[in-house]
Structure 1
Amino acid sequence: MAFVGFVAVLFFAPLAFGTTEIWSTVTAQLLVTLTAVVCFFPRLPSGKAVFYRVPGVIPLVLCLVWLYAQCIPLPFSWVQQLSPGTAFAYQPVLELLPPDTWIPLTVNRQATLLEGMRFTAYALFYILTVQLLISSKKLSTTVTSIVWLTLFIAFASMLQRAAAPDTLFWVRPLQSSFGSFGPWVYKNQYAGFMVMTCPLVLAFFLLHRPLADKNASFRERLLHLFSGAGANLHFFFGFGVIVVLASVLLAQSRGGILSLAFALLLFFFLLARSQGKIQTLTLLVLVGGLLLAGGWFSWEAIFAKFDKAFDTATGTLQDARLPIWQDAVKIIPHFLLTGAGFGSFIDVFPSYKSFADSLIYDHAHNDYLELLTDGGLIGFFLAAWFVGAVLRSGWRQIFRRKDRLSVLTAIAAFSGIAGLLFFSITDFNLHNWANGLYFFFLCGLLVSAGHTRQHYQHRPTLLALSASPAKARTALFLATIIFALAGLLLQGGEILADRHYQRAQKVSAASSQDSKKQFARMAELIEEAGKKAPLNGSYLYALGNIRQFQQQSKAALLLYSQAALLQPMEGTYLQSAGLLQAEAHPLQGRMLVETGYRRSQIKDGPLIIWAEFELSRKRRARATHILRQELERDPRLLNSIYPLLTEYRFTQEKKAAVVPQLTSAWLNYAQLARTAGNEVDANYFTEHALDFIGQEPKAQPQYFMQVFAYYQQQKEEDKAIEVLREGIKRLPDYAPFHIYLGDYYKGKGIDYRAIEEYEQALLIQPINAAVQQQLKQLKDKQQTP
C-alpha cells in the first residue's frame, strides 16, 4: 500500500500542472502523508520493526527545525541582535503596539510555515524513498515507471506545442502560450524536470544494451546489437533520450539546455570512471541524434535565444536576471545569520529593488541567493550539509558497486541532482512543488540505488540498520501525524477562510437598502475567515476597512496594526495605519505612509496616497519633491499621478517641475494632457520635449516624429524641418527622416537637395520602391531640356 501511494505521488506531481496551485499542493501533500503513515506504522504484520539509516538525516532534520524556529516569537532585543534587518522591518509596526510585543525572525510567518509544510513533505518523501526502494524489484519498478512517465510527458508536450499551443497540456486554456511548455506554465520548470529525469532514460538505454562476447568479431557484435535480447528496448530508450533532448530544445530554455548538457556529460564521466572506459560510440550517437533533432526544429531559433543573453555592441552579458541578483545581494548583509524567513523573498525584495517595472518578483531566479536571503548562513549551511552528505554517499557507492542496475541508476540520480543544482544558478526550480519533490526523490534514489543488492542472503541493502528501528518508526509515525494535523489547520483553514471571504464579497456586491446590516454581515464573515486563518493579514486588513467605514477609527487602527505585525513588509497595511495614526501623531503617520510606499510591490497607488497625504496637509513643496524624485526613478508612474496634478490644480510651472527632464516623459505627459482635452499643456510639453533629448539614455526616432507631426499639424513648417534636421544629426541612419526632408525640398522646388536626401535614404533602405520612383522622376526632370 505504501509503495502504491509512493508511485502515485511521483505520477501526480508533474501531471497536476507542476503542482503549483492550492488544490494540487494539498492533494500531493496528503498523498505523501498517507503514504508515510502506512509505511511508518509502528506495528508491522511480520511483527519485526525494520528501519535503515538514512544519510544526511541529521542536517535535514536540523534544517526543518531551523525553518520552523524562524516562526517562534522572540523579544525584540533578541531579534535585534540576531537579525538587524528583521528588527528594522518590524520597527514601524511595534510603535503602534504594546512595548513588550514579541516578534519572530521571519517577516511573514504564514509564508514560512507554508514553506515548512512543503519541505517537510519533501523530507518525508526522501526518507520514504530510502526505506521503500531497498529491494531491487521495487527499485527497478520505480525507475521504469519514471522513465515511461518522462517519455510520455516529453512526447505529449511536443505534440501539444504543435497541435494546441494555446492550452496547458490540452486541458486548460491559456491567454498566452509564452513561457509555458507541457504541463508546466513556466518552460524552465519543464526543462528542470527533464534535466533530472533524462539521465534515467539514458541509464535504461544502456541497461538494455545486448551484451556481446568480447572475443566476437565486429560483424558478430553488430548483429548481436540488433538481434540480441533487449535490442528493441535498447533502441527505443535511445530514441527516447533524443525525444527528451528535442523537447528541451523546442522549449528554448537556455538554462535547461546548458544544465541538461552538463548532467549528461557528468553521466558519461562517472560511467567512464566506474567502468574504466569511455562509451565513445554511445556518446557519438547521442550527439548525432541531438544535432539531427536540433536541425529539425531549427538551430537558428535556439542560437537566437542564446544571442539575447549578450549585447552584440559591447560583447557583455545582459539578462533580466542580473539586476535581480544585484539587488538580492543587498538583502543578505541585513539578514546575514538568520535570513528574512523562508518564503519571504517576495516581501523583502521591493525594499531593495533599484530598477523600475510593474512586475512582482516572488523568487530571485537563483536558488542559492534566495536560500541566503531567506534562510541566512544557518539555512545555507544546513542545506549544503544535507546535499553534500547525500552526494558523498552516492559517490562512494558508484565506484564500489558492480551491479549494472545499481551503478547506472546511481549515476543517473547523481547526474540529475547535479544538473538541477547547476540549473539553480539561474532559476528557481526547487521552489516548484513537483520539481522540488523530484529533487528529494533523486536524493533518495541515489542512496537506495547505491546500496540495494540484487542478490543477497540476509539483507536486500547495504544500508546499516537503525540501532532502534521501533523507536525510529514510532517517531516518524508521530511526526507524520503531527504534520498532517498542522497541514489540516494551516492549509485547511486557508481554504475555509477563502470561502468565507468569497461569501463576504458576494454580500458586498449585492444591492441592499440597509447598508448597516450589509456591512455587519460582511464583518461577521471576515471575522470568521480571520479565525480560520489567523496568520493571514489580509482578513484583518479587510475587517479594518469595514471598521473605518463604520467610523470606528480606533478599532480600524488596531486591526491595521495587527495585520502589519503579521506582514510588516506589506505596504498597504502600513499606509492604512499611517493615515489613521496621523490624526493624533502626524510625524509617526507620515513615516508609516512613506515606509508603506517603499515596501509596496506595485508603486502606483501607494505613491498617490503618499502625495495626497502631503498635499492635504498643505505641504505642496514636499509633495512636488516626492513626485519628481519617484518619477525620475520610474517615469511609468506618470500615467497614474496625472489626475492628481489636475485635481490639486498644479500650475504649468509646477507640472514642469514634477515631470522628469526626459523627452519621453514630456511627450507622455503631452499625450495625457491632449487626451484629457488640455491643449495648452499638451502644446507646451510637446514644444519643449526635445530640450531634454540629450538626457535620454537612448534617443528614439519616435521622439522626433511626434514633435515633427505636431508642428506639421500646427502649420509651422520651419520648426518641423528643424526637428527633422535635429533628428538626422542624432540618428543619421533612420531613413524616414531623409525621406520627409526630401519631400520638403521637392515641394519647395529645390530638386538637388531632394535628390541628396532621397539618395541618402536609399543607402539606408536600398529596396524602398517609393523613394526609387521619386528619385527617378527628379532625375528625369533634370535631364529634360
Structure 2
Amino acid sequence: MLRIPHLPNLAWWLFCLTLVLMPLPLGGNRSWVLLIIAPGLLAIWGLLLTSDSSRQQLGQAISHSKLPLACLAGIGLLQTIQTLTLPASWLATLSPGLATIWQGQGSLSLDRFNTQLYATLTLCYASAFVFIQYFALQSARLIKQLLLVLVLAGIFQAVAGIYLYSVNADYTLFYFALHHVRTIGTFTYHNHYAFYLVMTLCLGLGLIMAEPAAQQNGGWKQQLNKLLAFVESRKMLLRLGLIVIVIALVLTKSRMGNAAFFTALLASMAVYLALVKPRNKNLLWLVASVVIIDIVVLGSWVGLDKVAERIGNTALSKNSATLSAMIRGQENSPEWPRDESVEARMLPADYAANIIKDYPLTGTGAGTFYTIFPTYKPATVNNYYDHAHNDYVELLTDHGFIGISLFAALVLCVLARTIVVLRNRKSALAKGLAFSTMMACCAALLHSLVDFNLQVPTNAMLFTCILGLGWCAGFIERPARQL
C-alpha cells in the first residue's frame, strides 16, 4: 500500500488554493476559470485516490452525503443529457419546442458547448462538496481552517476593493474595462462582488460562533482581564476583519446585496434564538454589535446613507415613458431615471416567462439564455441581455422544472439538516456551521430574485462549499460510532 504522509493536509492546501485563486481573474466569471478549477480539483482527486485509507474515507464521505450528492449528480446528468443528440421522437416527447427548431433529431440544448461547460462546472461543484465531507471526517481542525481561509479571502477582496475605490482606479484587464466608481474588488460587477462578500461574512460569523464562549464569572478584575484578553485575541482580529468586509459591502452600493445581508442576519438570528437553548448571552451581544456598530455607525460613516438614498430613488414602478427609455437603452433621454426601478430590473425575467411556457420540462439547455432570449424580447428592446437577472427564471429557462426541482431539493435538504443541528447538536463548531449555512442560503435566495450570482462560477462554487459545510455539521466532532 502506498503511504503519503500528511495527505489530507496536502489536499486541503491545494483545495484552499483553488478556492482563493478563483475570483482573482475578473471574479472568475469567464469560461477559462476552468483552467484554475479543473487542474486543482483533479490533482486533489489524484492525491486522495493514491492510498487505500483515503479511498475508504472518500467512500465514507460520499456515503454520508447521498442525498445532496444525488441532487448534484442529477443536475450534472440533466446537463449531460442536454448535450446528446436524441432521436426526433424522443425530442418531440421531452421538448416539442426544440423538436420544432431542429426539425428532426437534435439535442435538448441550443448551445452544446456552453451546456458542456456548465456540466463540467457542476462536476467541479460536486467534487468540492465531497472534499469538504472528507476533510470533516479527517479533522474538525481542517474545517475550521477552511472557514478561516475563506474569510481571509473575503477580507482580501474587501481591502482590495476599498483601495481601488479610494484611488478611483480605471484600467483594462484582459480586454475588459474596469471602472472602480464603487467597490468591486477583483470582480467586474458590483452585485457579484457584494454576493461574495456577504457569503464570507456569513462564514465569519459562523467561525466566531464556533469558538466556545468564555464564562462570565468572577469579579470586575477578572472581567477586565478577560476583556483585555479578548482585545488581544484572534477573535478580535477576526472581528475587525468582518468590519472591513462590511465597509466594502456598503461601498458596493448594492441595494439587494446590503438588504439581503441585513435580512438574512436578522432572520437567521431569530431562528437561532428559537432553536438553540440555553442561549449564549455573549453571542447575542456579539451579533448585536455587528448590526449596531458595523452597520449603523460604520455604515453611516462610509456611506450607508448613500445606499439608502439609492434605494429611496428606486421606485417599484416607473411611468411608461421612463420604462420605455430604459428598455430601449436611451441613457441620454430626459426620462432616464437616476436608478433603475425594480420593475425595469425584472423586465428580462418577465419576457422570459414565455420561454418557460414553451420549454417547461428540460429548458433550452444550461447556459443558453443568451441564445433563446433575443427571439422572445420585444422588438423595441435594444439592450443585450446574456442573463435573466433572476436566478430562478434562468434556472427554469435553462433546466426546466426538472432542473429547478433538483436545485431546490439540494438547498432544502441542507437547510433541513441545519435546523436539526441547531436544535440537537451541542458542538459549537456544528452550530456555527449550521448558522453560517442558514444565513448564506437566506441571503442567496433573496439576492437571486434580482441577479444571477449562481451563474458566476466563483459564487456558485463558494455557495456550494457553504452547503457542504452545512451538511457536514451533522456529523463533525462526533465519535466515529455515531456517524
Shorter-chain TM-score above 0.5: yes
Corresponding residue of 2:334: none
Correspondence 1:114 to 2:126: no
Q: Which runs of 5+ in 1 are unaligned?
A: 92-100, 464-785
Correspondence 1:264 to 2:265: yes
Corresponding residue of 2:310: 305
CA contact (8 A) 1:413 1:443 kept: yes
Q: Cα distance 1:60–1:209, how it changes in 2: closer, same or farther (>3 A)?
A: closer
Letter in 2 for 1:145: V
Corresponding residue of 1:162: 166
1:403 to 405, 427, 439: 427
Q: Which has the higher contact order (CA 8 A, sep 6+)?
A: 2
2:98 to 86, 90, 101: 86
Map 1:223-622 to 2 at 5 A.
223-228=224-229, 232-272=233-273, 273-277=275-279, 279-289=283-293, 290-310=295-315, 318-354=342-378, 356-453=380-477, 456=479, 458=480, 463=483
1:143 to 141, 147, 158: 147
Corresponding residue of 1:24: 33
Corresponding residue of 1:565: none
Corresponding residue of 1:14: 23
CA contact (8 A) 2:82 2:365 kept: yes
1:211 Cα deviation (Å)? 0.8
Query: What CA distance in whole angstroms lies between the structure 2 residues aligned with 1:227 and 1:36?
Result: 45
Q: Cα distance 1:195–1:50, how it changes in 2: closer, same or farther (>3 A)?
A: same
Q: Cα distance 1:45–1:392, how it changes in 2: closer, same or farther (>3 A)?
A: closer
CA contact (8 A) 1:209 1:225 kept: no
Query: What CA distance in whole angstroms lies between the structure 2 residues aligned with 1:222 and 1:117?
Result: 54
1:406-425 deviation line (CA, Å, top 9, x unaligned): 21122112211331122111
1:280 Cα deviation (Å)? 4.5
TM-score scaled by structure 2? 0.84
Q: What SS does the corresponding residue of 1:150 show, helix, strand or coil?
A: helix
Corresponding residue of 1:713: none
Q: What SS does the corresponding residue of 2:474 show, helix, strand or coil?
A: helix
CA contact (8 A) 2:355 2:397 kept: yes
Query: What CA distance in whole angstroms lies between the structure 2 residues aligned with 1:247 and 1:45?
Result: 40
CA contact (8 A) 1:166 1:173 kept: no
Q: Cα distance 1:313–1:23, how it changes in 2: closer, same or farther (>3 A)?
A: closer
Query: What CA distance in whole angstroms lies between the structure 2 residues aligned with 1:312 and 1:103?
Result: 42
1:58 Cα deviation (Å)? 1.8
Query: What CA distance in whole angstroms lies between the structure 2 residues aligned with 1:392 and 1:367?
Result: 22
Q: Percent of pairs identical after alignment?
A: 24
1:17 Cα deviation (Å)? 2.9
Query: What CA distance in whole angstroms lies between the structure 2 residues aligned with 1:26 and 1:67?
Result: 20
Q: What SS does the corresponding residue of 1:133 show, helix, strand or coil?
A: helix
Map 1:602-681 to 2 at 5 A.
none
CA contact (8 A) 2:79 2:366 kept: yes
Letter in 2 for 1:439: F
Q: Cα distance 1:172–1:64, how it changes in 2: closer, same or farther (>3 A)?
A: closer
Query: What CA distance in whole angstroms lies between the structure 2 residues aligned with 1:270 and 1:314?
Result: 40
Letter in 1 for 2:215: A
1:229 Cα deviation (Å)? 5.7
Q: Cα distance 1:413–1:224, how it changes in 2: closer, same or farther (>3 A)?
A: farther
Q: What SS does the corresponding residue of 1:77 show, helix, strand or coil?
A: helix
CA contact (8 A) 1:205 1:235 kept: no
Query: What CA distance in whole angstroms lies between the structure 1 residues aligned with 2:32 and 2:437?
Result: 29
1:363-391 deviation line (CA, Å, top 9, x unaligned): 11111111111111111112212222222
RMSD: 2.9
Q: What SS does the corresponding residue of 1:269 show, helix, strand or coil?
A: helix
Q: What SS does the corresponding residue of 1:437 show, helix, strand or coil?
A: helix
Q: Cα distance 1:176–1:342, how it changes in 2: closer, same or farther (>3 A)?
A: same
Letter in 2 for 1:81: T
1:41 Cα deviation (Å)? 4.2
CA contact (8 A) 2:11 2:44 kept: yes
Q: What SS does the corresponding residue of 1:363 show, helix, strand or coil?
A: coil
Q: Cα distance 1:123–1:207, how it changes in 2: closer, same or farther (>3 A)?
A: closer
CA contact (8 A) 1:67 1:116 kept: yes
Query: What CA distance in whole angstroms lies between the structure 2 residues aligned with 1:113 and 1:311?
Result: 38
Corresponding residue of 2:60: 51
CA contact (8 A) 1:66 1:379 kept: yes
Q: Which runs of 5+ in 2 are unaligned?
A: 1-9, 324-340
Corresponding residue of 1:658: none
Query: What CA distance in whole angstroms lies between the structure 2 residues aligned with 1:340 and 1:263?
Result: 32
CA contact (8 A) 1:363 1:370 kept: yes
Query: What CA distance in whole angstroms lies between the structure 2 residues aligned with 1:405 and 1:154?
Result: 25
Query: What CA distance in whole angstroms lies between the structure 1 residues aligned with 2:37 and 2:215?
Result: 44
Query: What CA distance in whole angstroms lies between the structure 2 residues aligned with 1:58 and 1:152?
Result: 34
Corresponding residue of 1:36: 45
Letter in 1 for 2:17: A
Q: Cα distance 1:183–1:313, how it changes in 2: closer, same or farther (>3 A)?
A: closer
CA contact (8 A) 1:210 1:224 kept: no
CA contact (8 A) 1:249 1:294 kept: yes
Query: What CA distance in whole angstroms lies between the structure 2 residues aligned with 1:85 and 1:253?
Result: 37
Query: What CA distance in whole angstroms lies between the structure 1 residues aligned with 2:88 and 2:127?
Result: 34
Query: What CA distance in whole angstroms lies between the structure 1 residues aligned with 2:123 and 2:114?
Result: 14
Query: What CA distance in whole angstroms lies between the structure 2 residues aligned with 1:173 and 1:339?
Result: 31
CA contact (8 A) 1:179 1:186 kept: no
Map 1:76-225 to 2 at 5 A.
76-91=88-103, 101-134=104-137, 135-167=139-171, 174=177, 176-177=179-180, 181-207=184-210, 211-214=214-217, 216=218, 219=220, 222-225=223-226
1:235 Cα deviation (Å)? 2.8
Corresponding residue of 2:336: none
* Structure 1, 107-116 or 145-154: larger mean CA deviation: 145-154
Letter in 2 for 1:24: V
Query: What CA distance in whole angstroms lies between the structure 1 residues aligned with 2:459 and 2:255?
Result: 18
Q: Cα distance 1:120–1:210, how it changes in 2: closer, same or farther (>3 A)?
A: closer
1:311 Cα deviation (Å)? 6.1
Q: Cα distance 1:206–1:394, how it changes in 2: closer, same or farther (>3 A)?
A: closer
Letter in 1 for 2:164: Q
CA contact (8 A) 1:308 1:318 kept: no
Q: Cα distance 1:159–1:275, how it changes in 2: closer, same or farther (>3 A)?
A: farther
Query: What CA distance in whole angstroms lies between the structure 1 residues aligned with 2:260 and 2:141?
Result: 31
Letter in 2 for 1:385: A
